[in-house]
Structure 1
Amino acid sequence: MTTPTAIAPGSITRPWIIDTTLRDGEQAPGVVFSDAEKTEIALMLADAGIDELEVGYPAISRDEEAVIRSITGMHLPMRLTGWARAKWEDIEAACRSGVEAVHISFPLSPLYLQLMGRDYPWVQDQLGELTSRAKRYFRFVSVGAQDATRTPPDTLRRFIADAGKAGAERVRIADTVGVATPLSICTLLERVLVTGGPMLEFHAHNDLGMATANAYTAIEAGCGAVSVSVSGLGERAGNAALEELAIALKLSGIHPTGIDTTKLSALCNTIARASGRAIEPQKPVVGKAAFQHESGIHCAALLKDPLSYQPFLPAMAGMPEHELVIGKHSGSASLKDFFQRKGITLSAAEAASLLGEVRKSATANKRSLLPSELEIIYHQLAPEN
């Protein structure tokens, strides 16, 4: 298994995809995965082609350490990484759990350093000591800059340089409270990206609704890796969503990945059950409404070419075929198609007459109509049928 190096902005690249559903995802308030669910999720992520799994935070408890050890024992075809604070006890717990890689997180912004009563010289000392010690026990060591997007760029650049000197293979730029925008990501990376330095990873949060856009932009701007979670599950508003980023990268044509996107819907459904958080209908890529259409103009075009009003075919994400919904905004083409599938051919006049009643009923009920309701209206208007 190889890891890409820092990339040139705009070039054809294969970004390294790190899933953090079992770590950051489970940190979402009220979410608890059972040991069996964690194992199932890890297996599904491996089957989907994820490059690396941040499998958990081993130091949280001996039970957590044990379940991580059981997952590492399955020898899955992806790198397994344990998360640790900048404390040797956390790193030791990761070592006991059997993971081949460790991620060590450091406070970096002025606010976080103030809250901990620390300063940058302390970060520099701990970065050098902990990274060099960790490299004796792990095949791969990454370090993270907490609250990096609220850190002065010169400080972040210094942290990246010090991390490289200490032997860290990768540095995580964490948008810890989700305040970044695509343009600010580009500006920041222009100031801190150094050829020959450690790979940069971007870790997005979705507080302002831009996590996936920011993760994609980070790749475009030169980051070699990004971290995501299934359905964007994570603290507060969550993280960059695996399914959204995977499809966006596939459609880009310049950022191939090893992800089998047809597995995305099943992954999201599994996480929804395990987390107790249902998939919202309008959820991009895997929400039911993402492939439902009612507008008459849209439906008429979709009947001719399903890509006319869809960015990709649902099957690409493992979703069922798109659905034409009959309601207030429908046109005659949708009605003709609906009844044609039932062996009934409507004339233009019949479709127009039926459409008027359909719109009245949908308006009165404030919703689209069920197939049974459409059939009732049809038979009321054409009792001889």
Structure 2
Amino acid sequence: MRLKILDSTLREGEQQSGVRFHSQDKIHLLRLLEEFQVDIVEVGHPGISAEDEQVCKEVASASRRAETLMHARAISEEVQAVHRAGADWIGIWASINPISLTAKFGDKSPAQIKDRVAYAIEEAKKLGLQVRFTIEDASRTSWEDLFYLGKAAVGAGADRISLADTIGIWTPNECGETVKRAVEEIHSDIEVHLHNDLGLATANALAAIDAGASVIDTSILGIGERTGIVDLLQLAVILKEKIGFQHFPLERIPELSHAVQWTTGFRPDHLRPIVGKNAFTHTSRYHVQAVQKEAHTYEMFPPEQVGRKRKVIGERPQLDSPVLSTALRVGSPFEKGASELKYHRNGPGTRWVLMDHRVDSRSTLYAIQRTFEDNEPENHVDRHTHDCDSVFVFWGDRPDGTGLICCVQMEGEEQVVHSPASIFIPAGIEHAYYYVSGKGTYTNIVLAPEYNQSLRS
């Protein structure tokens, strides 16, 4: 059986702190996942509320290719909610180890949990749903209990058994051994849901594949509860590079990454494999010299394969004052024309650098302010993109902030903006602005200490 990928961004992703997806955003992400050739998309947990059920229904009805799965506890009301929402699969879950019985099931016995699970699975099958049954906290459950509950679920009609490392404590050896035994003794397709609390989720996924797992759960950028789960984008590249799995259009990775960053506000760190800012950046003098002759010297594969570009930085940063000092420092803003910036010309008005690494070497942001005094209109900024978020603030010279008119371009849209106005520009979005008329100030804050290095070439 071909390995399948189940993506849980739309369900597990909502368990990341502060994340809640609008139905239209879920549909947009569903489309991207389908274009990325993901097999199964877990769209949500309709039993939580009527609102969640409606969102799940809208998303499931929008599916064109991928199968849809919805989460449910082993109770009739939630099984019915999944059926009403129109899923292909239901993901019923329960746990049977001592800590779960005490903390979550009111000290019910394993036999009572088994009976509840069997009833829910039988009800789901009568409704025409395919059933994945997940043994939650499998990594802290004895093999005897895993076998007991897994065999009962298969006997009740479950189509697949999922083993969840709910708190992310498995090592690859432990994961592989458990999956191998489940494949051999439970006699079912085995899925794994692997959390990343120890940073081993992806390694465990590879061990599970080697041991015979049929389905791996992922999310875009690995978002999810606590430290998240297996990152779809990393796993897709690993499968191609190490196993020859040609299933995914890897050049679409930046599009998936940007979409999740925009909708969640989550920004992966610069060292994140594949999508991080520094993933294809070379700075060491000897690395730069070698890469310029033969890129393969320090790259496993060309960055274009995953929709990225190589960046070579030939100069080391200047040695400055210590940055670990917490002493109060008062910086000195300075006047500087915009021609020091790529995609910018000096333009109308007077431009001041308020904060960057030159004002204070500890700075993690860049801020400028430009003053306009009824200048001649001029298009002085070309469209460009940052790999970090930024903000425009327009403030006129009148007491209420009115009096300044500029034009802002963002992706395919252009709009005349009357002050006072503030515009948030997410990372990865092409944008520009130009002065039209009036008096006032334009402030630009970029969440990077060096403007040009934040640009996407």
Q: Is the 1:157–1:191 Cα contact (8 Å) retained in structure 2?
A: no
How do 1:302-381 residues align onto structure 2 when only pairs under 5 Å count?
302-319=291-308, 321-328=309-316
2:20 to 18, 22, 32: 32
CA distance in 1, matches of 2:212, 2:163: 12
Name the structure 2 match of 1:148. Answer: 138
2:229 is equivalent to residue 239 of structure 1:
yes
Q: Which fold has the larger relative contact order, with Cα–Cα distance below 8 Å and residues 6 or more apart in sequence?
A: 1
How do 1:66-85 residues align onto structure 2 when only pairs under 5 Å count?
66-85=54-73
TM-score by length of structure 1 reads: 0.80
- Structure 1: gaps of 5 or more residues: 5-13, 331-360, 374-385
Greater CA drift, 151-160 or 177-186: 151-160
Which structure has the larger Rg? 2
Name the structure 2 match of 1:381. Answer: none
Name the structure 2 match of 1:105. Answer: 93
What is the identity, as a one-letter code, of the residue corresponding to 2:67?
R
1:24 is displaced (CA, Å) by 0.6
Greater CA drift, 153-162 or 90-99: 153-162
Distance 1:50 1:289, change over 3 A: same
CA distance in 2, matches of 1:31, 1:372: 31
How do 1:39-58 residues align onto structure 2 when only pairs under 5 Å count?
39-58=27-46
SS of aligned partner of 1:21:
coil
1:196 is displaced (CA, Å) by 7.6
The Cα RMSD (Å) is 2.5
CA distance in 1, matches of 2:257, 2:221: 6
Distance 1:53 1:370, change over 3 A: closer
1:307 is displaced (CA, Å) by 2.2
CA distance in 2, matches of 1:58, 1:182: 33
Greater CA drift, 186-195 or 221-230: 186-195
Q: Is the 1:66–1:97 Cα contact (8 Å) retained in structure 2?
A: yes
Distance 1:371 1:240, change over 3 A: closer
SS of aligned partner of 1:326:
coil
CA distance in 2, matches of 1:130, 1:72: 21
1:372 is displaced (CA, Å) by 8.4
Describe the superposition over 1:164-219 as per-residue Cα deviations: whole angstroms up to 9, x where unpaired.
21111111100000011111112222433226811100101011111111112111
What is the identity, as a one-letter code, of the residue corresponding to 2:73?
R
What is the identity, as a one-letter code, of the residue corresponding to 2:298?
Y
Name the structure 1 match of 2:251. Answer: 262
Q: In percent, how many aligned pairs have the same letter?
A: 30
Name the structure 2 match of 1:181. Answer: 171
What is the identity, as a one-letter code, of the residue corresponding to 1:159?
L
Greater CA drift, 66-75 or 23-32: 66-75
TM-score by length of structure 2 reads: 0.68
SS of aligned partner of 2:113:
helix
Flag the structure with higher helix content.
1
1:21 is displaced (CA, Å) by 0.4
How do 1:291-306 residues align onto structure 2 when only pairs under 5 Å count?
291-306=280-295
2:105 is equivalent to residue 91 of structure 1:
no
Q: Is the 2:147–2:186 Cα contact (8 Å) retained in structure 1?
A: no
Q: Is the 1:269–1:279 Cα contact (8 Å) retained in structure 2?
A: no
Name the structure 1 match of 2:192. Answer: 202
- Structure 2: gaps of 5 or more residues: 319-356, 364-448
Name the structure 1 match of 2:115. Answer: 125
CA distance in 2, matches of 1:186, 1:240: 16
1:64 to 38, 47, 52: 52
1:218 to 208, 223, 227: 208
